[in-house]
Amino acid sequence: MKKATAILCIILLAGCVLFKNSSVKHAPKKEFSVSHDVVLHNGKPFAKLQAITWSLDGGELVKEFNFHLIDTKDLSVIGGMIDFLSDRHNGDEIEVEFNIDNGSDEFKL
């Protein structure tokens, strides 16, 4: 039973890694910049800071930056934006929201 559970865990972990690698690409950080409360991708508005919130996570106070996507035509660069913002705000959480019906049919059922 332990072997079956271990094998199942390995298969699930491998599947998650493959899904992550195929669904979100990391655009180079140099493609991103910030102007006031807007994140720019290649000089064009990509996401706007929507809110800064605090939460208690495992007994620790965590600062979260919530962004709303302005341009949803290329969702493949979200990972790069999160990576870029995480470097700027080390230790804080970055969350990205977007409307599914706003230009992308990638997540429609």
**Residues of the chain whose pLDDT is less than 50?**
4, 6, 8, 16-24
Residue 28 pLDDT? 74
- Apex CA 10: angle with CA 7 and CA 14, to 5°? 140
User: Which residue stretches of the chain are H helix?
Assistant: 2-23, 78-88
Residue 89 pLDDT? 85
Per domain, the residue ranges of the chain are 26-97
pLDDT in tens, 86-101: 888 888 899 998 876 6
Residue 23 pLDDT? 47
